[in-house]
Homo-oligomer: A and B are copies of this chain.
Amino acid sequence: MILDKVENQKDVKSLSIEEMEALAQESRKLIIDKVNTISGHMGPNLGMVEMTIALHNVFNSPTDKFIFDVSHQCYTHKIITGRKDGYLNPENYFKYTGYTAPEECKDDLFKVGHTSTSVSLACGVAKARDLKGEKYNVIAIIGDGSLSGGEALEGLNNAAVLNSNIIIIINDNEMSIAENHGGLYDNLKTLRDTNGQAECNLFKALGFEYLYLEEGNNVERLIETFKKVKDTNCPTVVHIHTLKGKGLELAEKNKEFGHYMMPNTAYIDIKTLKNPDDDFQAVTLDFIREKVKTDKNAIVVNAGTPGVFRFSKDIREEFGKQYTDVGIAEEHAVAYSSALAKSGAKPILNVMSSFIQRTYDQLSQDLCLNNSPLMILIYWGGISGADATHLCTFDISMMSNIPNLVYLEPTTKEEHIAMMEYAYNQNEHPVAIRVPSCELVSDGIKDDTDYSILNKYKVTQKGQKVSIIGLGSFYHLGVEVAKYLKQELNIDATLINPRFITGVDKELLDSLKSNHDIVITLENGELNGGFGEKITRFYGNSDMKVLNYGSFKEFTDRVPLDVLFERYRLKKELIKQDVERLIK
C-alpha cells in the first residue's frame, strides 16, 4: 500500500505520479468503506481525491494555508495530514469530525460546516500575512454548490481587489447537494463548454486571473495547474471540473443520493429505498403536496437542501413551476418568499434549523417589518448530538425575539396539520412552524383551535402546586414529568401545551398564581434568549418559582444526546429532584 509510506503531507511530495494515482485509489476506497459504515459526505469527497493529493504535492501546508468550503470536502486532506488512522481502522472511524477542525491538526485552519465561508476567511488570512510581511500561499477551496451563498459572493468581490496572493479553487462538480440553480452556474457551464475560453467570464469580470482545468481528476494535470499559480501575487481563480462521486457507481450515477450517504447504502438499489411515512416530516410533506396540487398559487421554496425535506426528484417534478430551489442562498430565499407572500402567492419556505441562522436580518427587515404572511417550516430544530457546525439548538433564540413573527411548535400530528392550515390560509403574520423532531404522536382528534387568536396556551391537565409548560416536542417530556411527580411526590401537576413560542399567555399564567407555587418550562433548544425566560420574566414580580429547562449556551460537538440531557437536567428524575428541593 502506498498509504503505508504516507504519514503526512510531506510524504506526498516524494511520490511519483503513478504512486499518487495509486494513493488516490487507496484513499477513495477508505472513504467509501468508512462512509458506508458510519455515514458521511460521499460524493463531494470522492470527487476531490486527486485534487487534494495534488494540492499537497505542490503546496506546503501548514505554511501554505488551505481553507476548505464546504469543509465536508476534506476527507482526503485528513487522510494525508496525519489522520489516516481515522479512516483505516473502523475502531477510529468516529475519531475525527467530517469537517475541518483546528483542534485535530494544524493543517485545518477553521472549524466550518456552514457553506460559503472560505473566500472571506482566506481574504483575512491573506491580509494578515501581508500586514505581517510574511510570504506564503493562501488557497480557498470552494465548490459543491457553496459559491451561490451571499457570503461567498461578498468574499469574491473583495478577494478580487486584494492585490496580493490568494488562490481560489472552484471545485466544479456541476452539482450542489442537488442540481445547481442560478446564473453563475450557467456561466460555469459556458466556461466548461469552452474549455475556459468564453469571453463572458464571471471571474474575469470581477478582476481575477483565471485558469480552467477540464481534467479535474487527473493528478498530473492538477499538479501542472497548481504549479502555474503557486506564489503568484494576484487574486487567481482556478476553475476545476471534477466528477462528483467518482469511483462509486451509485454516487456517480445518482449524485444527489450520493452526496451524503447513510450506512450500508453504497451498493443498494435505490429504488428499494423509502422514506418513513409515519413521522412529522411525512405529515408535513403530505400537506405540502396537497396544497401544491389544489392551489395554483402555492409555491414551495428551499435553499439548496431539498433532501432534508424529502423533496425527491419525482416530487420536484410534480411541483413543477410551483417549486423554487434558490440554491445555497438562504437570505434570498427569505426575501424572495416574503415578496411572494406579499404579492398574493402562497409560498411555503422550508429551512433546516441550523441554516435559518443565515437569515436574521432578512427575517427582521424583509419579512417581519413588512408583516408578509409567509409560512415557514423549520426542520430538525432541537438539541442534538451533531457536529458543532450543524447544531439545531439556536433557532428559537435567534428567531423568536424578532417582532411580528408568530412561531409555533405542535405536539401532535393533528396540531401540526391545524397549525399548517392556519399558517397557510391566514393573511396577517409571518408564521413559522417548528416541525417536531420527535417521534410522531397522534391522538386522532382533529384540532379545531383558532390559531389566529395568538398566544393562547392549552391546559391539557388541571392540577395544582406545580405547573409544567412543555413546548412542542418536549411536551411529551412534560407528560412524563407529571406522571413521575404524581408517583413520587403525589403532586397533581397542571400540564400546559403552549403551542405559541413567540408569546406569553398572560391571562393563563396569571391564573396559575392562585394555586401553583412552581412553574416548570421545558424547551428543546437554548435557554438563553429562548421560550422559558419569557415565562420567568412574567413571574419576576410574583411569588411563583420558575424552573427553566433547555440547553446551555454552548457549541457541543458530537456529544451523545443522553449525556446532554443529563447535563441539562432534562430527565424526569432530575426535574423531580429540583422540584423537591423547592417545596421543602
Q: Which residues of A are interface residues toward B (Cβ below 8 A)?
A: 102, 109-114, 117, 120-125, 127-132, 148-151, 153-161, 181-184, 186-187, 199-202, 204-208, 296-297, 299, 321-322, 324, 326-327, 329, 331-332, 335-345, 347, 357-362, 364-366, 368-370, 388-389, 394, 397-398, 400-404, 526-530, 532-534, 536-537, 539-543, 545-548, 553-555, 578, 581-582
Contacts and interface: CB of A to CB of B under 8 A. Distances in A.
A460 B529 CA distance: 28
Given A123-B336, A127-B345, A128-B344, A206 B187 contact: yes
B117 A366 contact: yes
A72 to B, nearest CB: 14
Contacts of A341: 124
Greatest chain B CB density within 10 A among A112, A120, A403, A534 is at A120
Contacts of A161: 181-183, 186
Contacts of A322: 131
A337 B150 contact: no
Contacts of A582: 541
A331 B154 contact: yes
A110 B183 CA distance: 25
A369 B102 CA distance: 11
A207 B186 contact: yes
10 contacts: A124-B339, A125-B339, A125-B340, A131-B299, A151-B331, A158-B326, A184-B205, A202-B205, A397-B401, A543-B543
Contacts of A156: 183
A409 B529 CA distance: 18
Nearest to A322: B131
Contact of A120 (B113, B117, B331, B554): B331
Nearest to A544: B540
Contacts of A400: 528-529
Contact of A537 (B124, B159, B181, B527): B527
Please give the count of copies of this chain that the complex contains.
2
Given A111-B370, A160-B183, A360-B398, 20 more contacts: A117-B335, A124-B347, A125-B339, A125-B340, A128-B345, A150-B151, A156-B183, A157-B332, A158-B181, A183-B206, A184-B205, A199-B200, A200-B200, A200-B204, A202-B202, A202-B205, A205-B205, A369-B555, A528-B529, A536-B537
A339 B369 contact: no
A547 to B, nearest CB: 6
Contacts of A206: 182-184, 186-187, 202
A157 B324 CA distance: 13
A150 B158 contact: no
Nearest to A331: B151
A548 B540 CA distance: 8
Contacts of A366: 110, 112, 117, 120-121
Contact of A205 (B127, B200, B345, B361): B200
Given A343-B129, A344-B128, A578-B541, A183 B207 contact: yes
Given A131-B322, A161-B182, A299-B127, A364 B394 contact: yes
B124 A342 contact: yes
B202 A184 contact: no
Nearest to A534: B528
A44 to B, nearest CB: 19
A555 B129 contact: no
Contacts of A155: 332, 335-336
Contacts of A541: 545-547, 578, 581-582
Contacts of A114: 361, 365
A362 B155 CA distance: 12
Most B-side CB within 10 Å, residue of A114, A326, A343 = A343
A335 B404 CA distance: 29
Contact of A365 (B112, B123, B183, B397): B112
Given A201-B200, A528-B534, A340 B157 contact: no
A402 B393 CA distance: 11
A210 to B, nearest CB: 10
A132 B344 contact: yes
A287 B150 CA distance: 32
A398 B112 CA distance: 21
Given A182-B157, A358-B360, A365-B117, A297 B547 contact: no
Contact of A111 (B102, B149, B369, B533): B369
Contacts of A357: 360-361, 364-365
Given A131-B299, A397-B401, A529-B529, A331 B150 contact: yes
